[in-house]
Structure formats: structure tokens, C-alpha cells
Structure 1
Amino acid sequence: MKIIDIGVPLDAAPYPPWNYRFKRVSHEEGARAMLRLFKGSDVGDYPESMALGWETITLTGHAGNHIDAPWHFGPLCEGKPARTIDQISLEWCYGDGVRLDFRHRQGEDISVEDLKGELARIEYTLKPLDIVLLWTGSDQYLDNVDDYVRRQAGLSVAGQNYILDQGVKLIGIDAIAMDVSFATMARGLREGQHDALFPAHFVGRKREHIHMEKLANLGAIPRPFNFKVSALPIKITGGSAGWVRPVAIVEDE
């Protein structure tokens, strides 16, 4: 069995509004800070006058790899209060993975025809609770926000609904967001479309499902299916999203 890291650090791509701040507390500072734990203690009571080090991190639930909960998309989902990240089913977050290669569609939208064509190419039929990973290749541009956004192959609303029609609950992408391409959104704004921005997110108000964003290294998975994906989100009470450490688990054939 091989476990393949398909994630990025929490501080990767900290573009607005998903900013990230990190403050290190050294071992020497830790010794002074921990004096309050034991009355009469002194920094010299710790080996080499050093206690424990730690860090203080300020970030959003959407930093690094994360899963968007239904509440992120809107207050209601399917006419009921939308579930937050601590309320979603964990069965959605571990299961059979399917990697679909759309690197040739960078900057464009993935249509139903594209999806059907890729599934036919790899000879696979989607089934309920599969975890679909969209391989756009844009993760190699993480350090350049302009290229990262421009090269994303977005998922069309029709394509998204096609995937959900197969019983899929979790869709992942190696891009900044699970949505149509930014080029499509920009064009829609210019043309005066009132629903141009992030339309695939708002599908989540009508159909309950979750998104996993900012994946990476999908090319390290040796085959397009016959592997597991584990992406269990951190339990944030009332959270619109939860950080994950996504991995692909590949067993020897």
C-alpha cells in the first residue's frame, strides 16, 4: 500500500480574502509563558532553560486544502438549514477515488461531453459516493496568482450536475476554486449576467454536496481509479469549511 500526499500546506496560495498569518513562539519564549502553570517555577526549571515551542496561526476555514460545507454556499440547502462542516457525513469523505484528466482544458470549462469522454477513455462508470478528483494541472502555478487563476479548468454547472446525478457527494479540484473558469465569470460580468460569479458554488443551495479545493500532485496517483481517497475535515463547530490533509491510498494490484 502507498499513501500519496495530494495536498498543499495551509499557507499555500494565501490570496485575499483567504489570508494567513503565522507567529512562532520559541522554546525560550515558551519557558517564560509557561511560568504561570506552576507557582514558584522558573525558566531554569526546564532543560537548558527552554520549554515547549508553538505557533499562533490566524487563518480562515478556506486556507490551504479544505472542504466547503453546504452552509458555505448559502443558509438553506434543498429547502432546509444548510449543514456546517461539523455536521456533514464522514462517509462522503473517504471512499473510491476517480481522477479525471482535464489538463488540456486549462482556462476553459469542463462540459458534460468532456466528462463523458474522459470516463469513456479510462473505461470507468461513476457510482454513488465516488470521490471525483478533477486534474487541471494548475497546482504547478500556486506561487503566481495570475497564472493559477487563469489556467484553472473550471467545472461547468451542467458538468457539475452530471457528476451529482451519479450519486457523488464530494468533488475535488487542484485549483483555487470549484467552479467555472475565471474567464467564464469575467465574460459573464461583461455581458451583464446576474448569475455570472461562482455559479457552481450556488448549485449547493439546491443540491447537497461538498467541494474540496486547492489539491496538488494528482499526477502522482499511478492510475485513474482503483484507489481510495481520505479527506476527513477538521471539526469546526458551525464552520463553513474545514481543513483537510487529503491523501490517495493506492494498494498494489
Structure 2
Amino acid sequence: MRRRLIDLSVPVLDGPSEATPVEVSLLDHAAAPAALGLRPEDFPEGEAISNETVTLTTHTGTHMDAPLHYGLVSGGRPADAIDQVPLEWCFAPGVRIDVRHVPPGVGITAADLEDALAKESYELRPGDIPLIWTGADRLWGTEAYRTDHPGMTRESTAWLVERGARVIGIDAWGFDRPFASMLGDYRASGDNGVLWPAHLYGRERAYCQLEKLARLDELPAAHGFAVACFPVRLAGLGAAWSRVVAIVEEPDAA
């Protein structure tokens, strides 16, 4: 068998698809000797080792949200920070759930998930990592990426978590519907239950979500692969960046 790795992450960079800036301060090879109290001639080719200082949010790029992001309490106990997420949750079989028919701004229902899994003749198993395939990653690099996608609902999130999902991913800017869609509904109805309902379900039962996935179309099938999504160990925080990778086992070429 041959192992193939598929990168399901977007790059971390400053651009129109991010709502907050990414600032990079570079200490390049030529300037580094002076920063170390040395001279260029103290190094081969006159160059020392470089360094970068990056300022960004924990929700920039592909990242994992921990229960602490949703609230201080999850399932009746203090919510886990990102460094407390069990490693076993972060390496498990994956299943791609195709909901590309759901329009931007619309909530993804439990029926949408059930129908997609039925078409693949697949029954979700405890520990599986569902990957919600909206197709929104095609807009990466544009401002529309932040606004033109559907989102999970409390109902659909609960449906997955109650069947044993502990990590759920989506190939969109956010896990819930776009902010403008939620805000419009809230202003029209006054019902605060329309504000981040999928996120806030995590106050009831602990789960993690992966946002800003990409290239789910490159998976060879809806299941039969593993997902590795270990978050950076940022102590006590609600989210961290993750290099999400699909691991596909394929027969050796004849």
C-alpha cells in the first residue's frame, strides 16, 4: 500500500479572505548578525539565521476551536481549552459530507446530513471526523469567502455530536451561517437563538470544530481515509492553528 497525504488547510497570510490582519515583522539573514551582537563576517556568506514575528488571531487560517471558545462551561463542567483537547480526537477516520446544494446564508439541517450519508451508504461511527463539504473554499482569496457560504445549525451539530463526533470540520470561513445572515435574522425577530447556535451547542456537549478547510474535492471518496488535525498547544486558549491532513492508503502501482 502507498500512503498519500492531502493538505486540507489554507495558508496563513494577510488577504481579503481574512477578517483580521496578519502582520509579519522579518529579521532577515543580513540584519540578523547585528541583532545577535555580532558582525556579518562572523557568519559564512555574511548571513546569520533569520526570524519572523507574526501577529494574528487564533482564528486566522485553518484552525480548531475548543469548547472554551463557546463558553466557560461545557456539559456542566469547566470547558476545555485547546491544549486540553484529547489527542485521540485529532486523529481518526474521516467522512466527507456533501452539502454543496445548500445555498449561501442558509442553515445546514440534520436531514441534509442524513441524506448525504445515505447516498454514500455510510453510517457515522463514534469518533469519526465529519468534514462538511460546502464548496466555499473555491472563493478563497476573495472577500466573498467570508460571506458566501451556508452554515451548521444547532440541530445538525447536535445530530453529529450525539452520534459520537468529537471534531467536526467545514470548508468555509465559519462554522455557523455568515454573520450578516445571523444578524439580519436577529434584528428582524429579536430571537438571540439565531446567533451562533452551532457554536453555542458546545456549551451543552463538548466538541471541537475545524474552520477554513480546503480541497475536500481532492479526497478520492467520501470515506476510507484518516484525518490528522492536531492543534498547536496554546496553553489556556480557546483555539489554535492546525495543519489538517487527510491520509489516504492506496494500492501500489502495478
Q: TM-score range by the shorter chain?
A: over 0.9
| In 1, Cα distance between equivalents of 2:7 and 2:163 | 27
| In 2, Cα distance between equivalents of 1:185 and 1:70 | 21
Secondary structure in 2 matching 1:166: coil
Which position in structure 2 is the counterpart of 1:43?
A: 40
- Shift of residue 215, structure 1, vs aligned partner: 0.5
CA contact (8 A) 1:12 1:64 kept: no
CA contact (8 A) 1:180 1:200 kept: no
- Shift of residue 80, structure 1, vs aligned partner: 1.2
Which position in structure 2 is the counterpart of 1:21?
A: 23
- Shift of residue 63, structure 1, vs aligned partner: 1.1
- 1:55 matched to 2:52: yes
- 1:86 matched to 2:83: yes
Which position in structure 2 is the counterpart of 1:241?
A: 239
- Shift of residue 15, structure 1, vs aligned partner: 3.1
Which position in structure 2 is the counterpart of 1:11?
A: 13
**Out of 175, 199, 202, which is 1:201 matched to?**
199
CA contact (8 A) 2:227 2:246 kept: yes
CA contact (8 A) 2:18 2:146 kept: no
- 1:159 matched to 2:128: no
- 1:148 matched to 2:149: no
- Shift of residue 26, structure 1, vs aligned partner: 1.0
More helix by share: 1
C-alpha spacing 1:6/1:219, structure 2 compared with 1 (3 Å): same
| In 1, Cα distance between equivalents of 2:5 and 2:196 | 33
- Shift of residue 61, structure 1, vs aligned partner: 1.2
Q: Which runs of 5+ in 1 are unaligned?
A: 36-40
Give the counterpart letter for 2:22 in structure 1: Y
CA contact (8 A) 2:107 2:152 kept: yes
- Shift of residue 43, structure 1, vs aligned partner: 2.4
Secondary structure in 2 matching 1:103: coil
Which position in structure 2 is the counterpart of 1:113?
A: 111
Greater mean deviation of Cα atoms: 2-11 or 172-181 = 172-181
| In 1, Cα distance between equivalents of 2:178 and 2:151 | 4
| In 2, Cα distance between equivalents of 1:19 and 1:76 | 30
| In 2, Cα distance between equivalents of 1:12 and 1:126 | 37
Give the counterpart letter for 1:65 in structure 2: T
Give the counterpart letter for 2:5 in structure 1: I
Deviation digits for residues 149-195 of structure 1 (CA, Å, limit 9, x no counterpart):
33212112111111111110000001111113546413422222222
CA contact (8 A) 2:26 2:53 kept: yes
| In 1, Cα distance between equivalents of 2:36 and 2:103 | 51
Deviation digits for residues 53-112 of structure 1 (CA, Å, limit 9, x no counterpart):
121101111110110011110111112111100111011111000001111113122111
Deviation digits for residues 31-59 of structure 1 (CA, Å, limit 9, x no counterpart):
11122xxxxx4321111211011211011
| In 1, Cα distance between equivalents of 2:181 and 2:148 | 12
Count of residues in Structure 1 that have an aligned counterpart in Structure 2: 246
| In 2, Cα distance between equivalents of 1:187 and 1:60 | 26
